[in-house]
Structures are given as structure tokens and as C-alpha cells.
Structure 1
């Protein structure tokens, strides 16, 4: 780390990316064929999984906020997903237990790193999907939302099919039991 004249300081933080879902990046640009103009305003994207254990070092200022670190990481990998889909976590180890804590958007990772000292067991940073328990639907594109609806519809149809099958078996067993018994 180095101290600046204004009292702030700069330094590096190391962030491990532990993303479970694929990220979206701009698709490679293709040259339009003659007579087939490329429609304007159409954003092409492709999705892929970042390799497990990907680590990125960022050179930041002491007043750089966690939300700005997320933005910088996404820019470095040209990820075009909404930054609100991601969160920066601090990871610490104590008594062979691992603790994760989601950083607030305004927290300053370089200050935390300085206060924790050099040991990565005491403090390290991880970028993960934002798991607040509540889904921020505004962060998804229309095609992603349509896919969610299709998946939910398929799950619902499968659940209804299983329930109908279960009740049909119960009905059949009751009818068999009624048929084998004599009245009175």
C-alpha cells in the first residue's frame, strides 16, 4: 500500500470469484452479410461459467466502496449482467470455522484489508451471487424472466401430475377395498 498526499492510500486487494451461475458477456461481433443488414438496437450476448477458483487482484483507493469493486471486477471480465446480481463478501477463519459476511455497498474493502493485516485467514474477499433471500427481478433481462416462467410452469405441471397420480392410486386402493368387502 502507498500513502497519497491527501491522506488516502492505494493498494491491492485479492478477490476470489465463486460464481455458481453463468455470466453474460457481449457476443463477438459478426460482419453482416451483403443484403442482410444487422438490426440496430439488438444487443447480442453470450453466457458462460467463469472457471472455478478464479482470482483477480484490483488496485483500488482507500475510499473505494464495495459496490465500485463489484463494478470494476465485472468490467475486467466484460460482464454485462446487472451489478446488483452480485455481492462482495468478506471471508474469515477462526478456530477452524469459516465465516462469510456480505459487505454493504458503502463499505471500503481496502480499509478492511489494512485493519485485518496481511493474513488471508483473517480476511479475504469473495465475489458471489447476491443471495439476499429476496429476488431483485429488475436485475434480469426479459429473456431471462421468460425462462424463469417456463421453468416454473414445467415444475408446476410436474407437481400436479405427481399429485394426480398419487390420488388416483389412493382412489384405486379404496375401490379395491370396497369391492372385496361385503355389506353389513
Structure 2
């Protein structure tokens, strides 16, 4: 059950974001010159000052076409909005009898600990989008936990990962974000245009699947999905060779009686 995006890591290895730096090319992509005899440690960029942040925010807000502007606080932190697309291929686990609230409804805080221990699985819409109001100190880990809480999902947050989606050379590329990065800072640097940068919540593909981390309803759903995919694949193969057989028989019939 491959995610379909892990192969993009190789293309993105030369580009990366950090919470304190801008978008830049990795220094290791260039080989050192022949005359270089001593490696020079790259100086770490300094964190932007409050005045610099204010200038960037003003430039950002000037490009905003809706009401989702950023606001600078007196302590140097700032708040703003990010939009997260939920592209989950697997079902999520929710308390039994509880359907996750609509993404278009006003979501209220829910204490999952007060709910029943019985659980069931539910597929979130592939086009689900959530607008989040966060701070510049909000980490990727906190964004993931907040999203799960809003949708009343009781799955382990480690099953999920936040990705940044970018467009380069006409291609859509994804890169997994570190749990300690700050999404609002990335949004500020990229500007408000979601075609330049957007955020996507996906399953956390780390290689080998740890099946023990999933609940019984989730495992049962996986079996149903695999069974359906297997049947579809069998039908596709049968249809393909049925057409091939038909064309071969027609060709042999047309060639019947003719000299070889």
C-alpha cells in the first residue's frame, strides 16, 4: 500500500525549509573546488528581527485577497491562517456512534477522553480542507494533533505527517515536514499564494508498516480495500486478454484460406 509520493524525496533532497531560515539550495550539492584545502563551516543565518518580521508581514498582507491576514503581536510573535488539505487514503478511527463533524460546520472542542471506548472507522472526504488560525510558535506536531482533535480522530498522531506541496517545472512535489517546524513561518515566507506552497495531511509512511498500531476496525477495512483492489485488478487483466484473444481470433479468421 504505497503512498505514491515517497519517490519524490530524491528530487527534493537539494531543497529544504527550516523554521529559522529561508528557502535555499543545499550546500552539499556542489563539490568543493580543487584548491580548497580546508572545509569552511557554513555560518548559520540569523533569526529575523521583529522589525524584519513586521516588514515581511506587511508585504504578505498586501498580497492577501481575503480576510486571512497575519497579525504581529507585541512580544514579536504573530498569528495567521494556514489551509490544510486532508488527503488520507486510509480510514480514521473515531468513537463509536460519532461521525466526524462536517468540515464546513463550526467545530467545537471535544474531550475524547469522556467518550466511549468503543471505536469505529470512518473515511474522511479526499477533498476535505481545514482553515487553521495558529501562531508563529505552533509546531507541525501541534497542527497534526489539533486537526485530529477537531475531527474527533482518536488515532495515534504518529500515524500522520504534514507535507508541504509545491509546484516546480510544471510538477507537483511533496516534502514531509519535521515535527518541530513552524508552518506559519513557512506560509509567511512563501506568501499567501497556495499555488506556491500549500499544506497536506497524509499518512506517515516511514517504510515498514507497524500493523500492531492499528485497531481491529482499521485492519478489517484494509482487508476490504485490498480485496476490492485485487478483484478490480483481476477484472482489468481478464478484460485486456479477452480483447487480445478476440482480435487474434478475428485476424486468424480473416487470414483463413489465404496463402501464408
- TM-score using structure 2 length: 0.49
The question of 1:24 aligning with 2:98 is answered: no
Return the alpha-carbon distance in structure 1 between the equivalents of residues 97 and 80 of structure 2: 34
The question of 1:122 aligning with 2:171 is answered: no
Which residue does the alignment assign to 2:128? 54
Q: Which fold has the larger relative contact order, with Cα–Cα distance below 8 Å and residues 6 or more apart in sequence?
A: 1
Return the alpha-carbon distance in structure 2 between the equivalents of residues 17 and 130 of structure 1: 13
- TM-score using structure 1 length: 0.68
Q: Larger Cα Rg: Structure 1 or Structure 2?
A: 1
Alpha-carbon distance change, 114 to 145 in structure 1, aligned in 2, over 3 angstroms: closer
Return the alpha-carbon distance in structure 2 between the equivalents of residues 61 and 90 of structure 1: 18
SS at 1:111 equivalent:
helix
Where does the alignment leave 5 or more consecutive residues of structure 1 unmatched?
Answer: 30-40, 156-184
1:1-184 correspondence runs (5 A):
1-28=70-97, 43-137=117-211, 139-141=213-215, 143=216
Alpha-carbon distance change, 28 to 147 in structure 1, aligned in 2, over 3 angstroms: closer
How many aligned positions are there? 139
Q: Deviations over 1:81-138 (max 9, x none)?
A: 1111100000000121111000010011000000111111211000000111133456
Please say if residues 84 and 139 of structure 1, whose CA atoms lie closer than 8 Å, have aligned partners that are also in contact.
Answer: no
Which residue does the alignment assign to 1:33? none
CA RMSD of aligned residues (A): 2.4
Return the alpha-carbon distance in structure 2 between the equivalents of residues 100 and 50 of structure 1: 20
SS at 1:25 equivalent:
strand
Which residue does the alignment assign to 1:36? none
Task: Quote the offset at 1:42 in angstroms.
Answer: 6.7
SS at 2:134 equivalent:
strand
Alpha-carbon distance change, 145 to 12 in structure 1, aligned in 2, over 3 angstroms: closer
Return the alpha-carbon distance in structure 1 between the equivalents of residues 200 and 91 of structure 2: 16
Which residue does the alignment assign to 2:5? none
